[in-house]
Amino acid sequence: MPSHDRVLPPLSRRGFLTAGTAAALALAPGPAWAGPRPFGRYGSPTARLTPKTLYVHPAGRGDFTSVQAAVTAASGSGWTLVVAPGTYRETVAVDATRTDMTGIGAGDDPRAVVIVYDNAAGTPKPGGGTYGTTGSATTLVQADGFTAHRITFANDWLRADHPGVSGTQAVAIKVQGDRSAFHHCRFLGHQDTLYADSMALGVFARQYFAHCYAEGDVDFVFGRGTAVFEHCHFRTLTRTDLSSAPYGFVFAPSTAGANPRGYLVTRSRVTGEAPDAYYKLARPWVPSSDPTARPSLTVRDTHLGPGIDAVAPYANMSDSFPWQDQRFAEYRNTGPGAVVTVPENRPRLTATEAESHTRGAYLGDWRPYERP
């Protein structure tokens, strides 16, 4: 396959924090364009791919040195941002007016381009108060039609560094726009890593994640979006602050009751570094702002490693909204975490029902998985 489609072994956020920058980002010696051609085949400020292509380089060899500066300059629709290899410690917000934006990591691998910050829900804000879950996001995408290729989105806030903070949610990215696609991207955090959501309760935002990697511990993929995860790798982290199970939950959908489709995980895998059966596959999130939510999650044709509790893979977030009343289902999963030992704890689709749980059914006339 082409070099830009290579899938290298993932480096966890824990490794990213403890390793040197060059080692963590696989930049030594780096691709050929790290020197004279930092943007590779994507042009340069003197040879733009299109008039609406902007270039970001941390040492000033592009149009901007920060991703947010490029986003701010890209007003309107249809811009492409090419980001050179490097670590960009900043927060980034793509508001709803900047539609059909594309972000391209110019490296060979998503580890080469990292957007990272360290706010948590309980982090004090300069003007008073705290950031809250949404405010903690390193990257916020509200525009429709956003696409990212080979970029790492991270939040490196750690509980151990802030023992007095109770709001430990720390979002790497919050995605609210419709037609949001991520190809070969990485999402690193602990609690609430990837917030796949929508702009409003009555808005059903479609999102597509292909060949992506996400890691965390508590509810690290969550929200009310209609999201398809295909050929993705979810990795559960160990926890030194807890001595017993569960350490956390992979998925926590909060699908609106009127939305027929929530999260679909297909042809993916769940692995982890925690002891066997120390993680639940999911729990439903029924937020106080929407007590009529009916969280929806289908996991199909996916390998579930031993870290998933096969006996009781689902749990309640609130006993007022038991998981059995929600829309959880599985189909043709494999691995030790998928073994059915207590049938009533593993709701499964029939072959006929599974026909309506496909990427095409979830995404409708939007086909981000097809090459133009």
Q: Which residues are catalytic?
A: 192, 219
DSSP 179-195: SEEEES-EEE-SSS-EE
Distance CA 201, CA 104 (A): 30
Q: Give the three-state DSSP class for 290.
A: coil
Pairing of strands 269-272, 303-304: parallel
327: enclosing H helix or E strand: strand 327-331
| Beta-strand relationship, 92-94 and 102-105 | unpaired
Burial of residue 345 (number of CB atoms within 10 Å: 0-12, 13-18, 19+): middle
Nearest to 173 by CA among 93, 258, 284: 93
Strand order in the sheet with 194-196: 92-94, 139-141, 173-175, 194-196, 221-223, 248-253, 279-282
Among all chains, which residue has been given the structure tokens 């924090």? 17
Taking CA atoms, 113 is separated from 1, 107, 244, in Å, by: 21, 7, 36
- Which CA distances in Å does 220 have to 169, 177, 216, 247, 331? 9, 19, 5, 12, 22
